[in-house]
Copies of this chain bind each other. A is one copy, B any other.
Amino acid sequence: MNTCKCSKAESDRERIETLSAQPEGKGLVTIEEEPIIGETPQAILKSWLTPNPLFYIRNHYTIPEGVSDWELTLDGNVEDALSIALQDFHSFPIQTLPITLECAGNNRSDLEPTVPGNPFQNGAVSTAIWAGVPLRHLLERAGVKEGSVEVLFEGFDSGEPAPGESHQPYLRSLPIDVAMHPDTLLAYEMNGEPLSREHGYPVRLVVPGWYGMASVKWLKRITVLQENFVGFFQTDRYIIESDDGETVPVAQMHVKSLISWPAEHMHLPAKPHMINGMAWSGFAHIAKVEVSDDGGKTWQSADLVGPRYRYSWQQWNFAWTPKSSGKYTLVARATDEDGNEQPLETRWNSLGYIINGVRPVCVEVE
């Protein structure tokens, strides 16, 4: 676990101020303008629901132009290939789920030594109420044949993923059992509104519990495969080196927490305060959150409050009475019901994914 480095954090703060003059005044902390990449500001991480304009964005290519006469193709290893228009979604059941999505590279700027890639702080994580049709219903209507192992998703967006790579659409696959899970959604609605262009209008995939790269936007085609898909964003990126040198794909979100309030470097009056934050895991409900005010030497349990749902983050409160004036290093760590513990230190990796080590917040009590 990093101890407080006030000078680094102050330069981060300047960076936010410099970068937050956002096109369209949307209030995200801009990481890149083309394609759009931006994170949710710290002040908004205090809200359990993220308003749509402040939901983090990590696009890989330019937003595709308005998709007129949109139809979704479902083909590959199925009995009957389908072509489905937006109005045909009325013939399938609606499903609505609160789901937290986190970018696999969230907190990348905390890594030392530094790595290339978008230098996210802790705001590439957001929560919305998603509505759509479970993908399973479309797959069942098409009839998935024996021998299917994965389902491939193609977005309408395309480009060169890296210098020297060919022009290609955004492509990602899911194991067949994840694609068939009743909570894997073809979402057309986010917080009661149709998807915005930035978030995948008209229809995107939302894979609950998985890092955001799996939730392919602007869906064009779904193909049932008899073999594992190989592609840039599947096998060259969103992978992590295991201890034995193998590469492992990034999949479910690892257990993690953040402190929403107080913010870094706040000066607080010497009285009781309610520290609060969020915790989440793609594997299970959050079982406990512990808080330390001495940089991790001693820990106390926080109260889990608010909505307690399978795929959305868990809000927590911790009533804190500082013993005296001075500097405090506040840290929080979460454990999920599968027994996964948030590590004190992130496992460094060269592409900068799954950065879930605890993150200190330094405050001064007056």
Interfacial residues, chain A to chain B (CB-CB below 8 A): 44, 46-51, 54, 90-98, 129, 131, 189, 191-193, 261, 271-274, 276, 303, 305-307, 309, 315, 317, 319
Would B306 and A48 count as touching, CB distance under 8 A? no
Contacts of A48 in B (CB 8 A): 96, 129, 131, 192
Would B307 and A47 count as touching, CB distance under 8 A? no
Would A95 and B306 count as touching, CB distance under 8 A? yes
The oligomer's copy count stands at 2
Would A303 and B91 count as touching, CB distance under 8 A? no
A220 to chain B, nearest CB (A): 24
Would B94 and A189 count as touching, CB distance under 8 A? no
With contacts A44-B192, A191-B191 known, is A94 near B49, CB below 8 A? no
| With A49-B192, A93-B319, A95-B306 already in contact, 8 other A-B pairs whose C-beta atoms are closer than 8 Å | A49-B96, A51-B193, A90-B261, A90-B274, A93-B303, A94-B274, A129-B307, A191-B191
Tell me the bound Cα distance from A80 to B221 in angstroms: 65
A347 to chain B, nearest CB (A): 32
Partner of A315, one of B90, B96, B317: B96
Would A191 and B51 count as touching, CB distance under 8 A? yes
Tell me the bound Cα distance from A309 to B48 in angstroms: 16
Would B307 and A309 count as touching, CB distance under 8 A? yes
Would A189 and B47 count as touching, CB distance under 8 A? yes
Identity of the chain B residue whose Cβ is nearest the Cβ of A88 in the assembled complex: B271
Tell me the bound Cα distance from A44 to B193 in angstroms: 9
Identity of the chain B residue whose Cβ is nearest the Cβ of A126 in the assembled complex: B192
